Amino acid sequence: MSSIMESMGKKRPRPRRSFTAQFKAEIVELCQRGDRTIGQVAKDFDLTETAVRDWVKQAELDIGTRSDGLTSDERAELAQLRRENRRLREDVEILKRAFFVRETR
């Protein structure tokens, strides 16, 4: 009985969904037209308002109407540089171990 009561008030978490760049652009365009609020657009398309706000913000960063974050190109470059940095750190660690082994012999 208690498990029924516990589950009654809890919502199931929404499964993570992914959307195409074209879909996001269309949603952003609807928001920027101004005839509906971001909240209304999100509700109409069963999206979270936070996600739609993030898409609008990113679009504004990409076209240059905002400057309080990274553009999509900058984000991609940062991710690539972080991957490269991680790989180089791993390479340095491997070389350190190899040098240490050679020095101890």
Residues 16-47: tens digit of each pLDDT: 899 999 999 999 999 999 999 999 999 999 99
Burial of 71 (0-12, 13-18, 19+ CB in 10 A): middle
Does the structure show a pLDDT above 90 at 104? no
Distance CA 30, CA 27 (A): 5
| DSSP-based three-state secondary structure for 67 | coil
On whether the pTM is more than 0.75, the answer is: no
Burial of 27 (0-12, 13-18, 19+ CB in 10 A): buried
Average pLDDT, the chain: 91
Residues 61-80: tens digit of each pLDDT: 999 999 999 999 999 999 99
Distance CA 7, CA 64 (A): 46
